[in-house]
Amino acid sequence: MVNVLILQCGGPTPVVNASLAAAIAACQTHRAVGQIWGARLGLQGLVQGDWVELTGLPATALERLSRQPGAALGSGRYRLREEELPAAFAHLAKRRIGVLLLLGGNGTMAAAHRLERHGVASGYKVDGQPLRVVGIPKTVDNDLAGTEVAPGYGSAARFIAQTVRDISLDLYAMRNFDDVAVLEVMGRHAGWLAAAAALARSHPDDAPHLILVPERPLDEEAFLTAVAAVHRRHGICLVVAAEGLRDSAGQFLAEKFQKAEVDASGQRMLGLAAGVAPYLAHLVRSRLGLLCRQQRPDTIQRSCRALAHETDRQLAVLVGRAGVEAALAGVSGHMVGLRHTPGGWETAPVPFAQVVGQERLLPASFLAADTYDLAPPFYDYTNTIGLSVEREYVAF
Amino acid sequence: MVNVLILQCGGPTPVVNASLAAAIAACQTHRAVGQIWGARLGLQGLVQGDWVELTGLPATALERLSRQPGAALGSGRYRLREEELPAAFAHLAKRRIGVLLLLGGNGTMAAAHRLERHGVASGYKVDGQPLRVVGIPKTVDNDLAGTEVAPGYGSAARFIAQTVRDISLDLYAMRNFDDVAVLEVMGRHAGWLAAAAALARSHPDDAPHLILVPERPLDEEAFLTAVAAVHRRHGICLVVAAEGLRDSAGQFLAEKFQKAEVDASGQRMLGLAAGVAPYLAHLVRSRLGLLCRQQRPDTIQRSCRALAHETDRQLAVLVGRAGVEAALAGVSGHMVGLRHTPGGWETAPVPFAQVVGQERLLPASFLAADTYDLAPPFYDYTNTIGLSVEREYVAF
């Protein structure tokens, strides 16, 4: 019998609880598993021993959990210090944990890697077995190496695409009043979420008209010229901008009004800064004289239950279950990666060393050469995750 | 035979196209109706004669239209000048329009009233019949007099309540990182939309923790004390603030950073100003030292197709159809009002004079006396429109 501890770390997604529910269910049905535990608030609960037992969680709760936004165990951005590792392992030993599952993104996989190495180095054993540490991918940003898609991305991407379709109908209806709108979406370094806006179109002239990704520094003059041209042609211009957009000099646009604060890990908190949308709106208003609305959904894009994507949820279930199966089969030091095959999506363990320290940006081939737009390979990619958006509309 | 012209005016709602589709369908099936026309961009299209014929619009298009956000004819905030009335009536006469239907809110009903009086005063007649002008209510703000609820409100209210439920699960999951969130919602003078956030709760301690409505000027010191107290108790504090919130001195909080511009009608464009959420976030950060996220969905709240509310859509259909029936029965100078009866919702024509110049604010009895919250009569009210929110969740 082996006891299992599960953690949720980093920003929630609409489907990270689906992975959690699937992992719990897989543990419950596996005869090798004894107790199932969850740590509250991710790594913080691991270090502090603040755990909740999940062994007997009823099927009704699992079903509800699987469709619930947020991260039900509590997640967060706790920074694991080296000197806290012994305390964490003392808690693991006390409850005789043999399998540690971490649901998370880049930062989480780095922590998982450290935990795995500490377990090996310290000779941690339960019933003669070493600790098996397995990562389960989760991030709306889709910037995680080692997996072709990260569960969470599909739902946030669908939210963004459907939102662009919806608000563009509103903007077009108000074209004798409003001129431009800037929708600010998440994405510090990677433009996957901004790119998803392209799926809103049913005709080439449809919104979004300009998609601004962090992979492409923004020349502000060229941008203003493009906005003016789109507005002249369509009477409106809908811009989608990633929060991590930088100007040609490498400065975050979000910080051009006011410097962002840094969090405990030294990362700039762009979502809490003045923001890229207010900056671009000011630019459009002051330089072009056009009215410019802003939409800043912030955490709505990563928690909207109504637009959670079913394929995304199924992938979240798949990796949750595969993480348990891999660990119980003896795998450790790996993350469950997703690979698209002609037969559908499959999982395969990927060593932490191939995941940690990487950041999967939009490939250059996914971006159109001269326009603020995507290229055909991006649509081939999104076809693999079957993103569905209600695009059709009646126009007069 | 009578020809009908339909206009959509003012900010779109998720269901104003449902009213339009219902009105078209009612005209199509009524043997007294000849041609059916729509004016593009509301009053602008009326004045300029920019119309589109809707007579033969197929049922498939009507069905699609009835679930489409935005305002498919084009809407806007065109300000009808007195000297433009003759041109508008020349267009009406040219196409022998006997029935004029205007879908809109407060400003639209004022314009409808002027058009009706001009028709009478100028002796406009088609086949010996005067012009019949009927208003069909539409506004997410729910501030329209003469109707107990305005179609559009239910869908935007559901968006806000469900969004609060969703983002509060996210905020709570991140409570070792994030502290406070401010969701900015529409509502220049009336707090109906902010109030709807209260429907997110399944337990009294659930978010939203503070609801700030324009009907109650905000004492900033008392607000900060309340935020700190909620945060101490729950580890988070979720605030919902109406865009039109004012401080004790009567100043818009949205303008405390930067003055808002005014539109053609002299109204302050608060949605385009620095905004109430950035101001409150700055206050919380600088005075309490707490991290504060902001969500500014802006037009997402009035166009989100996925959260359009079925009861709201049915009310939109009801008033669209009733507007046609009233006009064809000879009613003019009235808006279709909605009244809740023991048997359900009914329509009744209300004279423009009883609608125009009014603004239906939240009754004082709907607001809790000493807290930033709603009182029981508000829930009795929302029960009449059957707002459904997925509130239940699993907590550990």
For residue A76, what pLDDT band results from cuts at 50, 70 and 90? very high
Gap between the Cα atoms of B147 and B142, Å rounded? 9
Asked if A15 contacts A70 with a C-beta cutoff of 8 angstroms, the reply is no
Tell me the residue length of chain A: 396
Whole-number pLDDT of residue A256: 84
Whole-number pLDDT of residue A370: 87
Asked if B168 contacts B200 with a C-beta cutoff of 8 angstroms, the reply is yes
Q: What is the pLDDT of residues A177-215, one digit of tens each?
A: 999 999 999 999 999 999 999 999 999 999 999 999 999
Integer angstrom CA distances of residue A55 from A24, A58, A140, B353: 8, 9, 28, 66
Q: What is the pLDDT of residues B284-294, one digit of tens each?
A: 999 999 999 99
Q: What is the pLDDT of residues B328-340, one digit of tens each?
A: 999 999 999 999 9
Q: Which of B292, B296, B393 is opposite residue A295, by nearest beta carbon?
A: B296
Whole-number pLDDT of residue B256: 84
Phi, psi of A271 (to 5 degrees): -65, -20
Residue A132 carries which DSSP code? E
Whole-number pLDDT of residue B257: 74
Whole-number pLDDT of residue A258: 67
pLDDT at A271 over 80: no
Q: What is the ipTM of this complex?
A: 0.96
Whole-number pLDDT of residue B54: 98
Contact A173 B74 (CB under 8 A): yes
Contacts of B78 in chain A (CB under 8 A): 176
Q: Any catalytic annotation for residue A141?
A: yes
Q: Which of B68, B172, B396 is opposite residue A38, by nearest beta carbon?
A: B396
Asked if B7 contacts B23 with a C-beta cutoff of 8 angstroms, the reply is no
pLDDT at A260 over 70: no
Q: What is the pLDDT of residues B147-201, one digit of tens each?
A: 999 999 999 999 999 999 999 999 999 999 999 999 999 999 999 999 999 999 9
pLDDT at B258 over 80: no
Mean pLDDT of A312-324: 98
Give the mean pLDDT of chain A: 95
pLDDT at A319 over 90: yes
CA proximity to B183, closest of B193, B173, B174: B193
Token look-up 């049915």 returns B314
What SS3 state is found at B254? helix
Q: Locate the chain A residue with the closest alpha carbon to B394.
A: A65
Question: How near does any CA of chain B get to the CA of A173, in Å?
Answer: 4
B139 is in an annotated binding site: yes
Mean pLDDT of A132-152: 98
Going by DSSP bridges, is the β-strand pair B180-185/B210-212 parallel, antiparallel, or unpaired?
Answer: unpaired
For residue A257, what pLDDT band results from cuts at 50, 70 and 90? confident
Mean pLDDT of B202-228: 97
What percentage of chain A reaches a pLDDT higher than 70? 96
How many Cβ atoms sit within 10 Å of the Cβ of residue B386? Answer: 13
pLDDT at B350 over 60: yes
Q: Which of B167, B172, B299 is opposite residue A293, by nearest beta carbon?
A: B299
Annotated binding site of A: 11, 106, 139-141, 186-188, 243
Integer angstrom CA distances of residue B272 from A71, A128, A248, B142, B297: 33, 64, 27, 21, 12
pLDDT at B269 over 70: no
Pull the structure tokens for residue B255: 């303008």
What percentage of chain B reaches a pLDDT higher than 70? 96
CA proximity to B210, closest of B191, B197, B192: B197
Mean pLDDT of A48-75: 98
From the candidates B50, B127, B141, B179, give the one annotated as an active-site residue.
B141
Whole-number pLDDT of residue A314: 98
Neighbouring residues of B305: CB distance < 8 A, sequence distance ≥ 6: A162, A165, A166, A390, B14, B67, B68, B69
Integer angstrom CA distances of residue A110 from A40, A48, A83, A116, A333: 19, 19, 16, 10, 11
Contact A12 B170 (CB under 8 A): yes
Residue B208 carries which DSSP code? P
For residue A267, what pLDDT band results from cuts at 50, 70 and 90? low
Gap between the Cα atoms of A296 and A167, Å rounded? 12
Domains of chain B (ranges; CATH) run 2-139+307-355 (3.40.50.450), 153-305+360-384 (3.40.50.460)
For residue B240, what pLDDT band results from cuts at 50, 70 and 90? very high
pLDDT at A335 over 60: yes
Asked if B366 contacts B195 with a C-beta cutoff of 8 angstroms, the reply is yes
Gap between the Cα atoms of A188 and A197, Å rounded? 16
Gap between the Cα atoms of B62 and A104, Å rounded? 45
Contact A299 B304 (CB under 8 A): no
Annotated binding site of A for Mg(2+): 106
Asked if B14 contacts B304 with a C-beta cutoff of 8 angstroms, the reply is yes
Q: What is the pLDDT of residues A14-38, one digit of tens each?
A: 999 999 999 999 999 999 999 999 9
Mean pLDDT of A47-61: 98
- State the distance between the two ends of chain A, measured CA to CA, in whole angstroms: 67
Strand order in the sheet with A237-242: A210-212, A237-242, A180-185, A292-295
Contact A64 B394 (CB under 8 A): yes
Integer angstrom CA distances of residue A360 from A123, A150, A169: 34, 11, 33
Whole-number pLDDT of residue B388: 80
